[in-house]
């Protein structure tokens, strides 16, 4: 592995702080590196491989489609794309779909659609502090975390950020020029922060009162992660536009923007496009993912094991409350929030867990984020929580 990592450092631009492992195989919740070390994966490629690594039905769909047709561009119709869009419409608030390759691209499409849909001169978008919406210039501007912006200014104009949880502050940022509010129902990268139900309902109300669009970024929490197919379902509201991506293809690159007929009508041929977006192989994978997620009992299982993970993590957090402020999350996205005085140890905690063969991710600087595959078992949760307890109980030694 050392040789491979050295070669990698020679040829790659240094944009990633990687863990020292060259992953070669995955099955379910387990990964194996090139030296034969095994890992229990509670990161799942940042909430992407939700059905677990190399899910047999997804692999089969990919192989079958690869033998038939891989790419024709969006100048022609393809069967997997039509099937996928149909399923997304049937299982959401939406009537119309645009397929992209990634999360940021789905958000770019949403931002462009919101601007096109609005009166001329209405282009401003309000999002939240602590949000994460992507790395392209517009989605970066929408991202409410300054440190991601540094060095890339000037960013596209018209993006404003309201303090998290403050409805009247958000109200004040809405002007005659605002076209949309862009929100994650649960902030993932920002530190596993769910929005209060009344807060998001209040945001919906503000959008209605001002005749502007509510765009929900469910790139991380859509596709079953929170225990419902989309997170918005648990808030009793509907967005005007929703974006999703990460888990949609269980690892194949794909993103989707879903919207209503009324909003969709603002886009015509030539207004937006992508060469690769909605390619047949990614769509075949995504169709299989969706069918699995909506199959009998699957989402109920996510909810049950999510509650169990929450409860087990909370008992660790309570026991070591000198280090932990608590646990928050919905379904199978859960985070242990560290107290400020140990927050600087967060990266070391994640590294230590890696050394013990458990993969988790850091979010919002001081939150240990767990996003296991949605097929994770109670035994795997127990094994992971035991390791977390081991590391946190020895936090002073970390």
Ligand X SMILES: *Cc1c(COP(=O)(O)O)cnc(C)c1O
Does 140 engage in binding with ligand X (CB under 6 A)?
no
CB nearer to ligand X: pick between 278 and 387: 278
Does 217 engage in binding with ligand X (CB under 6 A)?
yes
Does 102 engage in binding with ligand X (CB under 6 A)?
yes
C-alpha pair distances (Å), 4 with each of 13, 33, 131, 269, 356: 15, 12, 35, 46, 22
Q: Which residues contact 169 (CB under 8 A, 6 or more apart)?
A: 162, 163
- The two tokens of residue 255 are 């993103």
Continuous H helices in 70-185: 79-90, 103-117, 137-142, 146-149, 167-173
CB nearer to ligand X: pick between 316 and 329: 329
CB nearer to ligand X: pick between 224 and 345: 224
Cis? peptide before 389, omega within 30° of 0? no
- The two tokens of residue 181 are 């509010």
Choices 27-35, 87-95, 129-137, 260-268 (CB under 6 A): range interacting with ligand X: 129-137
* Cα torsion through 342, 347, 350, 356, rounded to 10: -100
Continuous H helices in 277-372: 280-293, 298-319, 346-355
Contact pick of 52, 80, 188, 222 for ligand X (by CB under 6 A): 188
Strands 361-363 and 358-359: unpaired
- The two tokens of residue 20 are 């020292």
Choices 32-40, 60-68, 212-220, 334-342 (CB under 6 A): range interacting with ligand X: 212-220
Least gap, CB of 114 to ligand X (angstroms): 16
Contact pick of 55, 115, 117, 133 for ligand X (by CB under 6 A): 133
Contact pick of 21, 104, 264, 286 for ligand X (by CB under 6 A): 104
Least gap, CB of 385 to ligand X (angstroms): 24
Q: By Cβ distance, which residue is nearest to ligand X?
A: 103
Contact pick of 219, 281, 313, 336 for ligand X (by CB under 6 A): 219
Distance CA 226, CA 68 (A): 34
Does 50 engage in binding with ligand X (CB under 6 A)?
no
Does 189 engage in binding with ligand X (CB under 6 A)?
yes
Contact pick of 41, 124, 184, 240 for ligand X (by CB under 6 A): 184
Does 245 engage in binding with ligand X (CB under 6 A)?
yes
CB nearer to ligand X: pick between 219 and 309: 219
Query: What's the distance, Cα to Cα, between the start and end of the chain in Å?
Result: 25
Choices 175-183, 215-223, 256-264, 271-279 (CB under 6 A): range interacting with ligand X: 215-223
Distance CA 112, CA 155 (A): 16
Does 364 engage in binding with ligand X (CB under 6 A)?
no
CB nearer to ligand X: pick between 329 and 391: 329
CB 255 within 8 A of CB 118: no
Give residues in contact with ligand X (CB under 6 A).
102-104, 107, 132-134, 184, 188-189, 217, 219-220, 245-246
């Amino acid at each position: 592995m050392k040789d491979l990592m050295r070669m990698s450092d020679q040829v790659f631009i240094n944009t990633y702080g990687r863990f020292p492992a060259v992953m070669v195989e995955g099955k379910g919740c387990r990964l194996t590196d090139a030296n034969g070390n095994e890992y229990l994966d509670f990161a799942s490629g940042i909430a992407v491989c939700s059905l677990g690594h190399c899910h047999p039905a997804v692999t089969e769909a990919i192989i079958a489609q690869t033998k038939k047709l891989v790419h024709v561009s969006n100048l022609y119709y393809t069967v997997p794309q039509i099937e996928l869009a149909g399923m997304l419409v049937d299982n959401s608030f939406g009537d119309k779909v645009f397929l992209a390759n990634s999360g940021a691209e789905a958000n770019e499409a949403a931002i462009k659609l919101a601007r096109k849909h609005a009166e001329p001169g209405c282009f401003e978008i309000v999002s939240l502090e602590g949000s994460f919406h992507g790395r392209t210039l517009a989605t970066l501007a929408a991202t409410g975390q300054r440190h991601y912006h540094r060095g890339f200014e000037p960013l596209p104009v018209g993006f404003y950020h309201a303090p998290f949880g403050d409805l009247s502050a958000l109200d004040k940022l809405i002007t005659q020029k605002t076209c949309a509010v862009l929100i994650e129902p649960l902030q993932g990268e920002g530190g596993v922060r769910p929005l209060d139900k009344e807060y998001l309902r209040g945001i919906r109300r503000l959008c209605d009162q001002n005749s502007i669009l509510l765009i929900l970024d469910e790139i991380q929490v859509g596709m079953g992660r929170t225990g419902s197919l989309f997170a918005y379902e648990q808030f009793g509201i509907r967005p005007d536009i929703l974006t999703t991506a990460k888990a949609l293809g269980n690892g194949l690159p794909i993103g989707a923007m879903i919207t209503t007929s009324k909003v969709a009508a603002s886009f015509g041929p030539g207004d937006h496009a992508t060469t690769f977006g909605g390619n047949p192989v990614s769509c075949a994978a995504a169709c299989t993912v969706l069918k699995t997620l909506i199959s009998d009992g699957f989402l109920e299982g996510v909810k049950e094991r999510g509650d169990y993970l929450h409860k087990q993590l909370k008992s660790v957090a309570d026991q070591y409350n000198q280090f932990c402020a608590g646990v928050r999350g919905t379904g199978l996205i859960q985070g242990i929030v560290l107290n400020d005085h140990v927050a600087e140890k967060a990266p070391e905690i994640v590294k230590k867990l890696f050394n013990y063969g458990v993969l988790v991710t850091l979010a919002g600087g001081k939150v240990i984020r767990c996003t296991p595959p949605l097929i994770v078992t109670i035994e795997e949760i127990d094994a992971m929580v035991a390791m977390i307890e081991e590391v946190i109980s020895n936090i002073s030694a970390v």
